[in-house]
Amino acid sequence: MNIFRARTLIRYTYRTLRCDRCGLVVENLGLVEPYARVIPPVGGTQYIWDLCQVLTIKEIAEHLELDWKTIKDIRKSFLKERFSLPDIGSPKLLAVDEISLKKRHKYLTVVIDRESGKVLWVG
């Protein structure tokens, strides 16, 4: 990502560690996601996601001077985080209720884990 008008590259070195139990382990510096090729600045991925709402991946890549695959991967991670199904565990006792949203025709069905009170599904 550019800082003002200067093209900025950050190079860092990480260690590959050999673990007898796990095999090879790459040191996690907390700077990038695993296998990421760029380090977005603070809020950088959010900025890219915001641009995805109004521009194509190609246009964003040209604007930020990044590879289109990098933009695609960031977009994909946001979509996966936003729309993946949560782990609901193994509830033992369920409660089902219908709520009227509008008079006579619109209803919501709510499924709840009775023990924890956690909403599992709404439809």
Per cent of the chain over pLDDT 70 is: 84
What's residue 31's pLDDT?
63
Q: Which amino acid is at 54?
A: V
What's residue 2's pLDDT?
62
60 vs 66: CA distance, rounded Å: 8
Is this model's pTM higher than 0.85 or not?
no
Q: Which amino acid is at 30?
A: G
Residue ranges per structural domain of the chain:
2-83, 88-123
- Summarised one tens digit per residue, pLDDT across range 49-96 is 888 899 999 998 888 888 888 889 889 888 888 888 777 788 889 999
Asked if 74 and 41 touch (Cβ cutoff 8 Å), the reply is no
- Summarised one tens digit per residue, pLDDT across range 1-18 is 566 777 777 677 777 778
